[in-house]
Structures are given as structure tokens and as C-alpha cells.
């Protein structure tokens, strides 16, 4: 029976399957796994759908984060082998040097969910200086939707065993607690 489908388009395949396959729950349609190829435009649609689904999963997980849990992350010291509550830092920018800070809110075996933190300038002017992450819980209380600030990062390890996180196309390392320099001048 499969040899009859060689060279057929997906729509023709679905129509043929609808005629030859037993009815499912009275609807007379082919299974969902066979209906999707007829609606899609190929591998581009599948990859677009997969990236959209991944973003939605992260957003849904971030909705589970309650303000009390975030407050506890800022106020407690976590053991060194646990990432929850640890702040990570990334140098960003193309011809300038910018800083990105984030705190780990959930950790799994191969990745972590982080929430972005704003920066506070502690020395310098608008063009050059030093900044640290703003870790006051008041900021978190004013976020209208946490999921807009949450992102996923994959855990990676250097040759010497140090762990870093790769997320938002940036390399995040554990923040050492010192102010980080920035400059907007090319």
C-alpha cells in the first residue's frame, strides 16, 4: 500500500489516507501526525514551530515563579554546588562593552532558567564607568510580567572544569561580586 504513495504530494497522501484508514472517533480524518505535513510548508515551518514552542515552554515555566520565591533568592545564601540564586554576568556589545546580569531561578541537569537584572552605574558617566546588578527585591515587585525577562541558558564546561552558561547568544560566567566596566565609545 505504501508503494502507491511514492511521488505524491502531502495533500494527496492525506486525502488517500482519509479514504483508506479507519475512522477516528467518528471524524473520518487521518491522525494528527499525518495531517500536519499537509498544512506545513516543509522544514522551515517545523523549525519555526519548534523555536516558538521552546519560547512558550520557557514563558510557562517562568509564570510558576512567585514573588516570594524570588525574594528568597535575593535574601539567602545558597550552597556552592547549587546555582539557584547565583548571579551570572556576560560582556555584551559588538564594538562597545556592555554588561548583562542575570540571576538563576531554576536549574536542571543541563540548563538553567535565568531572569535578567538591571544594571546600576556605581562609577563613571554615560559613556564609560563601572556597574553592578540591581538586586533589590523592589525591582522584582514592579515587573508586570516575569516571563518577558526570563530566558534559558545551557550549561557548558571549560577544559579546566569551570562551568558557564550559554543563553541569549551570550556567554554568562559566575559573577565575582566586583563592579564590571562598560564603555559606549567605539
Mind listing the pLDDT tens digit for each residue in 147-164? 677 888 999 988 998 889
Q: Bridge partners of 156?
A: 164
Q: How far is CA 12 from the centre of its chain?
A: 38
Using CA atoms, how far residue 26 sits from 12, 22, 33, 36, 38, in Å, is 21, 9, 17, 19, 21
Predicted confidence at residue 106, as pLDDT, reads: 82
Q: Rg of the chain's alpha carbons, rounded to an integer? A: 24
Mean confidence (pLDDT) of the chain: 74
The tens-digit pLDDT sequence of the chain (186 residues) is 444 444 444 444 444 444 444 444 445 566 665 666 666 666 677 778 787 877 777 766 665 566 666 666 666 666 555 666 788 999 988 888 999 999 888 888 899 888 888 899 999 898 999 999 987 765 666 555 666 778 889 999 889 988 899 998 999 999 999 999 999 887
What is the pLDDT at residue 6?
A: 42
DSSP-derived 3-state class of residue 28: coil
Amino acid at each position: 500500500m505504501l508503494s502507491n504513495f511514492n511521488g505524491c504530494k502531502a495533500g494527496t497522501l492525506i486525502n488517500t489516507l482519509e479514504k483508506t484508514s479507519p475512522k477516528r472517533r467518528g471524524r473520518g480524518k487521518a491522525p494528527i501526525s499525518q495531517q500536519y505535513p499537509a498544512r506545513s510548508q516543509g522544514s522551515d515551518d517545523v523549525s519555526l514551530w519548534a523555536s516558538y514552542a521552546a519560547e512558550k515552554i520557557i514563558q510557562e515555566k517562568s509564570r510558576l515563579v512567585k514573588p516570594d520565591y524570588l525574594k528568597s533568592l535575593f535574601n539567602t545564601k545558597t550552597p556552592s554546588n547549587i546555582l539557584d540564586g547565583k548571579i551570572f554576568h556576560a560582556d555584551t556589545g559588538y564594538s562597545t562593552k556592555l554588561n548583562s546580569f542575570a540571576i538563576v531561578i531554576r536549574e536542571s541537569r543541563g540548563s538553567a532558567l535565568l531572569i535578567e537584572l538591571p544594571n546600576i552605574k556605581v562609577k563613571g558617566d554615560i559613556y564609560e564607568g563601572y556597574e553592578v546588578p540591581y538586586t533589590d527585591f523592589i525591582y522584582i515587585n514592579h515587573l508586570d510580567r516575569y516571563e518577558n525577562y526570563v530566558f534559558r541558558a545551557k550549561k557548558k564546561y571549560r577544559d579546566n572544569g569551570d562551568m558557564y552558561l550559554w543563553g541569549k547568544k551570550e556567554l554568562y560566567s559566575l559573577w565575582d561580586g566586583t563592579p564590571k566596566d562598560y564603555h559606549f565609545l567605539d
